[in-house]
Structure 1
Amino acid sequence: MQKKTSVAVGISGGIDSAMTAYLLQESGYRVIGITMQTYDENIEMDKTLKSGCFGPAQEENILSASLLWRKLGIEHYIIPLQEEFRHKVIDYFCETYIKGKTPNPCLVCNAYIKFALLPEKAHSLGLEFDYFATGHYAKIGFNNTLKRYQIRKAKDANKDQSYFLAFLSQEQLAQTLFPLGDYTKQEIKKMAIGKGFTELVERKESQDFLQSSDLEVLFKPEDFNPGEIIDMQGKVIGKHKGIINYTIGQRRNLGISGMPEPYYVLQIDAENNRIVLGPKEYLFKKKCSATDMNWVSLPAPEKKFRAKAKIRQQHSPADCIVTPINDNTIEVVFKEPQLSITPGQGLVLYLDDLLLGGGFIAFSNNEDVETKDLEGFRRGES
């Protein structure tokens, strides 16, 4: 008898991974479930705080996942990755904030942990499988002309998660399956109810990285270095308790009052430990650069081209012209100014539904000018 093709499903105990396993079973695959254990108990965090991927509630999630896989009749294994997660994701998260940028831990986790170390360690522990699958809403295909695996947006535009997959390698894509790419979320919910998994439909899904609403649990006391909050003319208008508490476009919890209009974070000056505030109109930028580019669906381009770019997950792809500086760096000029282009966030390029590649935003126009020059910039200048 021919051996069945086997798939390891990365599971969290939620509806998407459960239906991923179910669909693969129905397609004739031999399925096992693997869950990564990432929470470091040395990091004290209150269980009663908000839901998130990283935190002490992981123990309860793993238990829920185990019960779920018993119901599906699937073997389930816990893969310990606490140390690896700490070095690859938590350290990156903290170091990025300290540099005055805003991290995107999901992009880094997917590239280095979930689609890399998780299946690798599962293999090293003796588990045998041919493919790795997750409940991401996205599609994978192979282009025979380019000889490359490509990522496309999911059928459900509102649920599409291709943005978070922009740093996957060709080797990873060759071994990955996304069964939910051709379904809408509502179709998956109906499927779950029909198969007796109503409790999964009612379960709240985590949208956050950290269970705690207080970032201090991940940082050292010396990382909270107080400094000045200044306006666009360089006038000191307040004090901050550490630049890690701020991100571009932030309006709340600034600790200032008496301004002629609402003020927002325009710039985080890590070198001088200062936060620059100003009116919302100055958050609109037309140009930025991105580094650490990973070209997914095509080889690194050599000439400028038109595309659409997302500057964060909840951003509508915007028309732009992309100019390659080298294989690693690009310059992006948008047709229309974009709000809160944030250094450290992922910039992902698309052509229709095809994900071309992604990188990390290095700076947006006027981001690197001296404070005394800021009063000269206007909405839309490049």
Structure 2
Amino acid sequence: MKRVVVGLSGGVDSSVAAYLLQQQGYEVIGLFMKNWHDDSVTISNECPWLEDSNDALLVAEKLGIPFQTVDLSEQYQEKIVDYMFREYEKGRTPNPDVLCNREIKFDVFMKIALSLGADYVATGHYCKKSEIEVSGETVYQLLAGADNNKDQSYFLCQLSQEQLAKSLFPIGELTKPEVRDIAAQMELVTAEKKDSQGLCFIGKVRLPEFLQQKLQPKEGSIIQIDKEHSIYNTEDKQELSVKDSLLLASNKIAYTPEMGKVVGKHQGAHYFTIGQRKGLNVGGTTDPLFIIATNVETNTIYTGLSSQHPGLFRKGLFIEKSEVHWIRTDLALDNGGQMEVMARIRYRQPLQKATLHQFEDGMYISFQEPQSAITEGQFAAWYLDDELVGSGVIS
């Protein structure tokens, strides 16, 4: 019997994953990760990890599998929380869930599981894994989950072949309603439990207050840029090389306060992200204001009226060489290489037609249609059909 350690999170997905593995004849061990101690920044009064670990224990008891808790809060603080603070300080918007999978669940946690003699680690992610042979070698594929509405392959976009080799995703073929039905039939305590929101494993966090622990509030101006501003007239100035036109399509506009009018004040540019609408507290506008750019050096936020403001859209993005990651290393592009893909720049975004262009210093992604709110620090992921083959941090 192969031994599998399931990351029991106290939610319905991992509960059903454990049950299905048991049905398939694996020896299953449940392990709960405790990643957070500080309850001062969570929104709800109840302590989310305590409730979750109790639910995970009850599920393990119901299934009759061994269960223990591992405290990874130190590693989580260092690899996820500290990284988030550094990124926000630079005016970037990190994705803690993608990082948590790469750095915690499929690294620190996986090493603990393997030290317990596990052959695999399983999670309740909605995605699938398969394997093919490429020139005599086994290659693992990360595929989108069967439930289009819940596909979570994006969150695993930074995994490696070594990590995938040791991973199982038992619910990848199921839809969320099917998972809930199985949990109800098995009378699992998590059957009706709502999906967790907020940071991976911390619970619902008030982000500004969370960030204020390290990043001090500092008053600055909110500036509104007119959609008719001449900076948006992008008639081709002259014949550009491929790389220069990609650079032009990917570059952020360098806004200055003189380009617009001051419409309000904010408490720190590093608390805000591109495409954000809530939390600006500026009234009296015909349409909602959206953030089109932030500048943490000058502590300025630039906004535009409506979700169709030209300042929100770009046709390209750049990923630095060190940040380009291929799950399918056999498909990695050489310098000068191109690939037609489907790509997304955030979770749940419908896949977009795009072309990868690999250069010496990194990779450009050019989109067929302009994309709204391309955000530094987030992950772009690219697919061939329903296989996620690579990803990278937007620069």
State how 1:126-141 maps to structure 2 within 5 Å: 127-141=116-130
Q: Return 5+ residue gaps in structure 1 as ranges.
A: 363-382
Alignment correspondent of 1:290: 319
> Given the superposition, is the C-alpha separation of residues 330 and 63 from structure 1 closer, same or farther in structure 2, using an over 3 Å criterion?
same
Alignment correspondent of 1:380: none
Q: Is 1:13 aligned to residue 3 of structure 2? A: no
Report the secondary structure of 2:292's partner residue: strand
The offset of 1:259, in angstroms, is 3.8
Contact 1:288 1:333 survives alignment (8 Å): yes
Q: Return 5+ residue gaps in structure 2 as ranges.
A: 226-258
Please list every run of at least 4 consecutive aligned residues from structure 1 whose deviation after the TM superposition is greater than 4 angstroms: none
Alignment correspondent of 1:346: 379
Contact 1:297 1:354 survives alignment (8 Å): no
Report the secondary structure of 1:336's partner residue: strand
The offset of 1:260, in angstroms, is 5.0
State how 1:241-256 maps to structure 2 within 5 Å: 241-256=267-282
Q: Which residue of 195, 198, 203 corresponds with 2:193?
A: 203
Instruction: Write the distance in 2 (CA, Å) between the matches of 1:311 and 1:89.
Output: 20
Q: What number of residue pairs does the alignment pair up? A: 349
Instruction: Write the distance in 1 (CA, Å) between the matches of 2:287 and 2:43.
Output: 39
> Given the superposition, is the C-alpha separation of residues 47 and 305 from structure 1 closer, same or farther in structure 2, using an over 3 Å criterion?
closer
Q: Which residue of 135, 160, 164 corresponds with 2:151?
A: 160
The offset of 1:16, in angstroms, is 1.0
- Taking only aligned residues, the RMSD between alpha carbons, in angstroms, comes to 1.9
Alignment correspondent of 2:350: 316
Q: Which residue of 205, 219, 230 corresponds with 2:223?
A: 230
With structure 2 as the length reference, what TM-score do the two structures score?
A: 0.83
The offset of 1:219, in angstroms, is 3.6
Alignment correspondent of 2:242: none
Question: What residue identity is the alignment partner of 1:304?
Answer: Q
> Given the superposition, is the C-alpha separation of residues 222 and 195 from structure 1 closer, same or farther in structure 2, using an over 3 Å criterion?
closer
% identical equivalent positions? 38
Larger displacement relative to structure 2 (106-115 or 300-309): 300-309
Q: Which residue of 241, 248, 266 corresponds with 2:292?
A: 266
The offset of 1:236, in angstroms, is 2.9
State how 1:24-173 maps to structure 2 within 5 Å: 24-41=21-38, 44-45=40-41, 48=44, 56-124=47-115, 127-145=116-134, 147=137, 148-173=139-164
Report the secondary structure of 1:44's partner residue: helix
Alignment correspondent of 2:230: none
Larger displacement relative to structure 2 (163-172 or 136-145): 136-145
Instruction: Write the distance in 1 (CA, Å) between the matches of 2:194 and 2:119.
Output: 32
Which string of whole-angstrom CA distances, capped at 9 and with x for unpartnered residues, describes residues 90-130 of structure 1? Answer: 01111111111111100000000011101213455xx2211
Report the secondary structure of 1:200's partner residue: coil
The offset of 1:298, in angstroms, is 4.0
> Given the superposition, is the C-alpha separation of residues 260 and 22 from structure 1 closer, same or farther in structure 2, using an over 3 Å criterion?
closer
Q: Which residue of 362, 368, 372 corresponds with 1:329?
A: 362
Question: What residue identity is the alignment partner of 1:159?
Answer: K
